[in-house]
């Protein structure tokens, strides 16, 4: 894909991407104490690894997105774009690529969770057509 003189290649995650991916997630503040990024990658590779995408420029990982579909809803996680490459359409493109893969699986709705304090990301997804659902998101650590 070419955008603003950027040659971005999007492909499924490969083992040799791990170090760059984890570094990117740290750089984008996606790593929190209760989520081990190596474990999250390992778990994703056990289920629908083809939905874990990386974006590369000159063989460097500059973007990621992790999608999933369990037959009822699709999910997006770990969207990250290297800060020096943000606001160039890469994040939008990564989401579009993930959505295309979910549509191929007959997914009809996508959910995602964003921390309420992350207003910039909330606005980003709103620009992509996502809307606030009138639901309460709940979780339980196991």
Residues in the chain: 142
Could you count the other beta carbons within 10 Å of the beta carbon of residue 91?
A: 22
In this prediction, residue 136 has a pLDDT band, given cuts at 50, 70 and 90, of confident
**What tens digit of pLDDT does each residue of 12-49 get?**
999 999 999 999 999 998 888 888 999 999 999 999 99
Using CA atoms, how far apart are residues 131 and 139, in angstroms rounded to an integer?
Answer: 21
Q: What is the pLDDT of residue 5?
A: 59
Q: Are 76 and 35 in contact (CB under 8 A)?
A: no
Q: What is the pLDDT of residue 131?
A: 94
**What tens digit of pLDDT does each residue of 47-84 get?**
999 999 999 999 999 999 999 999 999 999 999 999 99
Using CA atoms, how far apart are residues 64 and 78, in angstroms rounded to an integer?
Answer: 7
Share of the chain above pLDDT 70, in %: 96
C-alpha pair distances (Å), 62 with each of 10, 11, 42, 80, 132: 10, 12, 20, 8, 28
> What are the chain's domains?
2-127 (3.40.630.30)
């Amino acid at each position: 894909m070419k955008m603003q003189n950027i040659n971005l290649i999007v492909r499924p995650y490969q083992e040799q991407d791990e170090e760059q991916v984890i570094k990117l997630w740290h750089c984008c503040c996606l790593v929190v104490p209760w989520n081990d990024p190596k474990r999250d990658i390992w778990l994703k590779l056990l289920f629908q690894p083809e939905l874990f995408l990386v974006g590369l420029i000159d063989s460097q990982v500059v973007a990621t997105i992790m999608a999933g579909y369990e037959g009822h809803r699709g999910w997006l996680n770990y969207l990250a774009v290297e800060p020096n490459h943000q606001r160039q359409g890469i994040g939008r493109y990564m989401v579009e690529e993930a959505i295309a893969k979910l549509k191929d699986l007959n997914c009809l709705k996508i959910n995602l969770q964003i921390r309420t304090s992350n207003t910039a990301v909330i606005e980003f997804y709103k620009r992509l057509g996502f809307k606030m659902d009138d639901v309460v998101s709940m979780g339980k650590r196991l």
